[in-house]
A = this chain, B = another copy of it.
């Protein structure tokens, strides 16, 4: 059987994909400076809802880019998001990716305090003495705990990427972060996921990399 494939070289597929996305977005207005992030989320999901649901606090993107260039580390709430983040690109600026969800002490603290492991893993992250970007793609309880830690003065993140996906307390947890005194990128509503969390981190990394060329 002969299959009709578009003749695009592997290295050109991403470029062609972004051209298609830009073309199909048509007249949709994106906030200046956020376009590459929004388009990469659409690229990762083939879901044009991200053109509408991604919300950025004033100056969040530039603040995050500066933080990464100054060696900020990433904390995620899933091993999947950790696996998806371009760790080599991040390491160029001195950053690392942490996910504490499978740690034994996190499991113990969660059990002791009657919380989720996501909550306990945010507590563990708050003990790091480094500039931090949180990329939350799964657990609304992680966002709620981040809000509490910020309100109580225990944490001052460089950025919160708040993109948990789901049906229970997801919408509320994102609205909470959008009221916190913290730079944020949030996918308003139910959508998001570990893939979107990793994708937003990678979009930031590629923005820095491209601006260096």
Contact = CB atoms under 8 A, between A and B. Distances in A.
Interface of A: 1, 3-6, 8, 10, 13, 16-17, 20-21, 43-47, 78-80, 82-84, 116, 140-141, 144, 147, 151, 165-170, 172-173, 176, 179, 189-195, 198
A173 to B, nearest CB: 8
6 contacts: A5-B140, A8-B168, A20-B168, A45-B45, A80-B195, A194-B195
A13 to B, nearest CB: 5
Contacts of A140: 5
A4 B44 contact: no
B5 A167 contact: no
Contact of A1 (B45, B170, B179): B179
A44 B164 CA distance: 10
**Protomer copies:** 2
Given A45-B45, A47-B47, 9 more contacts: A1-B179, A4-B172, A6-B168, A16-B168, A21-B167, A45-B165, A80-B80, A80-B198, A83-B83
Contact of A45 (B21, B179, B191): B191
Contacts of A20: 167-168
B46 A190 contact: yes
Contact of A17 (B1, B167, B176): B167
